[in-house]
Amino acid sequence: MRVLLVHPSPLMYSELYLRLEPLGLERVAAAIEAAGHEVRLLDLQIFQHADYWREMQTFAPQAVGFSVNYLANVPEVVDLAKETKARPGAPFVFVGGHSASFIASEFLDHADGAIDCIVRGEGEVIAPLVLEAIGDPKLETLPGVVTRHGAGPSPTLLRDLDLHLPARHLGRRRHKYFIGVLDPCASIEFTRGCPWDCSFCSAWTFYGRSYRKGSPEAAVEDLARIREPNVFIVDDVAFIQAEHGFGIAREIERRRIRKQYYLETRCDVLIKNQELFAYWKRLGLYYMFLGIEALDEEALRLHRKRVTLNENLRALEIARSLGLTVAINIIADPSWDEARFRAVRDWALTVPEVVHFTVATPYPGTELWLTESRQLTSRDYRLFDVQHAVLPTTMPLQRFYEELVRTQAVLNRKHLGWGAIRRYGGAALSAAARGQTNYLRMLWKFSTVYNPERQYADHQKPVRYEMRPPRPMAGPRPTKQELYVHMPAPVH
Ligand code: B12
Ligand code: SF4
């Protein structure tokens, strides 16, 4: 069967700092290819809708699968599915990914019959079975599958992460993928899931709080296939288990692979596994993201981060002493006033790190989605991108955006424009000499992407698809049934 897999258009973030390969789709593609199908992959972060329609004509797929990890992409995918189904000889249309998994039935309702099924959870096991069941009523009995007529049992976890390494050969224009100065940059996955349970996050609810590791040999085999000199390690929390991180590192040394790496981890993990991170620094670890989230104990407790402010500050010192470029994130609450923004801005100016600000957003799939007592001010999917306020702001909304962007602009002052050229000019120019200009191009784009008027105007756009409000909880706390996509068992 001819199968076209599609990643939707870029999010607000990817307009500036990064653009990353659709690793989830590449893994699903590998599983589908292994089942004997002919697969093509189209990434609309790079290509245009016109390219999608061209592909529909020239490749004439019998099935089209969309990846929806982000709510902001829901309207685009619903519209593409509707237009696809309106044309003669329409293919089977299915959708997977994080956000799709958490809002399966409302997604199907918006599509009004244009989406044949949503595939909840990991795609590797189930996608080939879905293709096999097209046209058969057994489709809606498959694990993780939801149609307008029924839903199968909880999805099946992939038994072994070493299976179905990403089908990177299907990617086109790979030189467009980058993160900051790591230009170009590929992505890789070493582990899946997270054992913590932060209230604003859905990494743990998606995988039913499970945590799995691939073998160091398979991970490094995958790494060896990557042509790019830079690699984004996509694990939610990198190197939780030191032995696994050392195992991969030793294998990299044994195979004499030299690359630069970006990873994301927790402050307590960095403190606990300092030696491991120092080893990775020697191997090429360049850029690290630490989820600090808050500058006070009360907010850390509310986010249920299970780290203290002191631990966070200690981790920053360790990262600095290792000589890493460090990015951190702070969650701005819509309740913040001018004084709060000023205090955070002053702090951000005193630290050498790249400081990002996101807006507290109850995302479906998180505990916060069910427990947040404040009323949503918007249910427009496009505004659920952690850059817009969807909860009531204490300041007038326009003022909130002015303060937010002013605070985000600290990053612009410190790490973009000429400041960046002074700091990373050598790396940027040598990338440019190789024809890689993604990073150079981002340096002066800040105010076209982060703009208070634009953010405020987004709230005035007509809303065609509205999210369903959260369902009331059965008890005082959300249950596993209410939160998890993958229930803890079974593993196949
Ligand atoms: C890279 C990344 C990004 C990149 C986007 C890159 C891209 N090209 O998509 C950037 C940095 C832009 C980003 C932004 C955000 N992200 Co993000 N991101 C990730 C990250 C680290 C890796 C994604 C990845 O490659 N995973 C590995 C692959 C193998 O897994 P996968 O994509 O989930 O695919 C599997 C399944 O989902 C499924 N599947 C996926 N697509 C399809 C399609 C079909 C047809 C089928 C059948 C199955 C299927 O099968 C795949 C294989 O099992 C994940 C964390 C993670 N480890 O997954 C978070 C994650 C996906 N992001 C998340 C969030 C919350 C965000 C933000 C909202 C906030 C933030 N963290 O900054 C913003 C969104 C901004 C916006 N404007 O809306 C959440 C999920 C959100 C949700 N929907 O519930 C995650 C899980 C992180 C987390 N800890 O909460 N992100
Ligand atoms: S924020 Fe990080 S540590 Fe917390 S649950 Fe999500 S992935 Fe795990």
φ, ψ at 70 (rounded to 5°) = -125, 135
Q: Residue 191: helix, strand or coil by DSSP?
A: strand
pLDDT tens profile 58-82 = 999 999 999 999 999 999 999 999 9
pLDDT band, very low/low/confident/very high, at 492 (cuts 50, 70, 90): very low
Q: What's the pTM value of the predicted model, to 2 decimals?
A: 0.95
pLDDT tens profile 422-446 = 777 777 777 878 888 877 777 777 7
Higher-scoring residue by pLDDT: 44, 415 = 44
Angle, helices 338-350 vs 397-415, to 10°: value is 10
- Lookup: tokens for 167: 């089908």
Closest atom of ligand 1 to CA, residue 366: 84
C-alpha–C-alpha distance, residues 153 and 129, integer Å: 14
- In this structure, the number of other CB atoms found within 10 A of the CB of residue 346 comes to 11
Q: Residue 285: helix, strand or coil by DSSP?
A: strand
pLDDT tens profile 322-340 = 999 899 999 999 999 999 9
**Ligand 1 within 6 A of CB of 100:** no
Say if residue 204's pLDDT is above 60: yes
Measured CA angle at 425 (ends 422, 430), to 5 deg: 170
pLDDT band, very low/low/confident/very high, at 14 (cuts 50, 70, 90): low
Closest atom of ligand 2 to CA, residue 293: 1
Residue type, 58: T
Pairing label, strands 260-265, 285-293: parallel
Alpha helices in 87-142 (DSSP H): 98-102, 104-111, 126-132
Closest atom of ligand 1 to CA, residue 384: 78
**Centre of ligand 2 from the C-alpha of residue 201, in Å:** 6
**Centre of ligand 1 from the C-alpha of residue 419, in Å:** 30
Closest atom of ligand 2 to CA, residue 236: 7
Once rounded to an integer, what is the mean pLDDT over residues 352-370? 92
**Ligand 1 within 6 A of CB of 269:** no
Query: In a mutational test of the pocket of ligand 2, which residue from 201, 292, 305, 311 has the highest number of ligand atoms less than 8 Å from its CB?
Result: 201
Report pLDDT for 418. 67
C-alpha–C-alpha distance, residues 252 and 246, integer Å: 10
